[in-house]
Structure 1
């Protein structure tokens, strides 16, 4: 059994370790729940951390805690257990009660590769050990079935004993996926009035059983219309990620998208610049800035929001997408693609944890007009 002085020393030493995302010690955050002696004399350290708890964070804290414990009891094995704190959502949840965080991926205009970014972002979150879902709400051009090799798939549904109809997402590569493309016939033109758009989106959100997820990613249609309004008003969004390309024409539309989410009190988690530069297959060390350079970062600085990262133009992205797999999950894809997505995903998770930490400390006031 641990001596009281030893336990106190362990608690102080481990409590002094700084959470790399939040910039505060584990002790200040109240994250050290308990330290106990397990089987064979091993130390079990139990943490309660602000979510999401992702692989890179868990590995870093594990290394730091094992080293700290070893400096006091070098003859003991140390095992770290981490569980997420319960964080109240920005809007009290009536929907998606089993989902911790909801992220909308949006763009001010079409043609910037938003759906490809959303698919690879979801896959990158999966690679960080999170339980992930992807809802393709792009009613005008649902691309997720193609990106995940689910073309021709239909929405799975059943009628329950109480008469309600519930749908179930497809699971592909470990990601739960639902799409407008599962409801519409292939090549069907999406000609809908505003109320119909909102109704389809509500169906995907309200009637699909997503189960327990750490993160649900929404792929929104481009622009600032009815689908965006429906989600922002009815779904407890953790925040929005804005996708742009470097040129001025795209940036002007992104400003409008940021303004819309702010007006709806949706946090902007960051800007992603897609197609930042071209990497030729025969010269992987070269970069060509076809659409200009630095536009996304400048816009993020101007708007006072995080700049998450740049994604290059690379033929491997097209090849993987056409084959029905996100590029970051394709072992044949270039390391430059995987590295770019990993960098921006880690940045996104850091900002998301910071936001959740603020939400934990501040009371939520909901005003509905």
Structure 2
């Protein structure tokens, strides 16, 4: 009998789900026992993802709570927003651990969720149980947890870029501007005009200007770190690449500090954290330098003329922004080293 933790993945035919498969197949402590899709149950997963031929031969299961509970110890929900609201409570009540990659349990304010996501919010009793799993900042709440709400991709890059400054209150918290750009895999595998090749190729699109649903998630985390209500200006863009997020963040310092002081703050704040790499002064990360990895790379530049700091934070949206962080949360939840199954080098070029 296997001693490995048994994992089920709901939403296995989406990009987040198939990235979880890639990571968990080589995890030394985990066995994938069920891949689940409500739309294509009974079909081999390799039919939709031929790169899994002879690697993962299972047929896709349908959503059956009793069947999932019989086959798994932990369930990853890589589902669209609105699905987890009903599914997570049932899985939790069946005694399963749940790591939810959707946005359904990230916001503690139900009115904010309804406003930004345009869905009926989750039951507050289950919302209270959900631990927000941004590992580098709130990971001390994850060990032994039953229910993890995995952070969003844009918030991960943006919050990690701001956290040391917000926690120390070195910046004017009213001055935060986040200019974020993502590859098209963040839009999922579904078809739409926006991500059609002829529309996005050789193009750069701003979208959901001042209304992106990740805005309140960023504000919630920064407010928590700063211990006061914070609002941000957050603008998102699609760029014609498959993977990667770059959040370029602009903030005003609230008193004179040197660039070296700020760099030292970031270095000490993230010391010992396996997946945040602070670049040397004068060096700035590109998205390709984290592709396929769980790293968040951060570069800093202080404009002494204006007193404004520029922070460049990059992640792979499918890994640190989704599946990789979910595995990192699993590791911390189970008391394993956080880098277990994730300690691989970025794919380059």
Task: Tell me the TM-score normalized by structure 1.
Answer: 0.33
Task: Tell me the TM-score normalized by structure 2.
Answer: 0.35
Larger Rg: 1
